[in-house]
Amino acid sequence: MQAKDRLIVALDVDTREEAIEIVRAVGDYCGLFKVGMQLHNNAGFSVTEEIMAMGYPVFLDLKFHDIPNTVGKAASVVSRRGVKMFTVHASGGADMLCKAVQGANSSGNSPVVLAVTVLTSVSQQVLNDEIGLAGPVEDHVVRFARLAQQAGVTGVVASPREIEPIRQACGNDFVIVTPGVRPVWAGGDDQARVMTPAEAIAAGASYLVVGRPITAAPDQAAAAQRIVEEMAEGLARRSHNRR
């Protein structure tokens, strides 16, 4: 895959009109578009179908987390609708993850199923003091990644800081989709565990999710191109390091 194909642009906006404007502006400079809860809950599934009808794959990021049977049926529904990727929470457990995979495969489309490990907004302090889980963030992320892989899940969503330990635990074929990516020329916003696009790709990320550095830029297409160039630099670094 080229660097462009690894870029997922997050459509974290309220309306169908805003989303389609972004798609038209940067569609030539990315591989997929992410539709999350903000846009989906306001515009419905029709915006996802419209984006796919324009020829662009969609990563549907609704983070299913419920009893196994419910998640399995939801996975079957979104898979039949033709999305390229969708998310479930790894903390739902092995049975729920297995049902998600079964639901996805029942459609015949076999989308990429991604388990969310630990949200990139969760710092070490929040994990320990507020959520009440002892130990380093990295340990929990790797444990969730192993659980997901054993359940047949295609990959995970994880912070760039955990890419290398996930690769060590789950191998090179496991898909890692990485939010928490901020180029040096953009602010950190509400992400706690971040890297630049070049760093994240060099570390082994399969895909990067980038939102505001592109969607809030005065020239969205130029911002996307700039990030793709940084990603290409990271791919070159990764290739060099494997020699």
> Is 67 among the annotated ligand-binding positions?
yes
pLDDT band, residue 169 (cuts 50/70/90) = very high
The mean pLDDT of 213-232, rounded to a whole number, is 95
Q: How far apart are CA 138 and CA 144, in angstroms?
A: 10
> Is 15 among the annotated ligand-binding positions?
no
Catalytic pick among 66, 73, 95, 139:
66
Is residue 14 among the annotated active site residues? Answer: no
Q: How far apart are CA 99 and CA 88, in angstroms?
A: 11
Is residue 84 among the annotated active site residues? Answer: no
- Average per-residue pLDDT for the chain: 92
Is residue 99 among the annotated active site residues? Answer: no
The mean pLDDT of 114-140, rounded to a whole number, is 88
The mean pLDDT of 141-167, rounded to a whole number, is 95
The CATH number of whichever domain residue 206 belongs to comes to 3.20.20.70
The mean pLDDT of 151-169, rounded to a whole number, is 94
Beta bridge partner(s), residue 34: 10, 59
In single-letter form, the type of residue at position 23 comes to V
Q: Is the pLDDT of residue 120 over 60?
A: yes
Q: Is the pLDDT of residue 193 over 70?
A: no
Please report, in angstroms and rounded to a whole number, the separation of the first and last CA atoms in the chain.
Answer: 19
Domain extent at residue 204: 4-241
How many domains in the chain?
1
Express as a percent the part of the chain with pLDDT over 90. 78
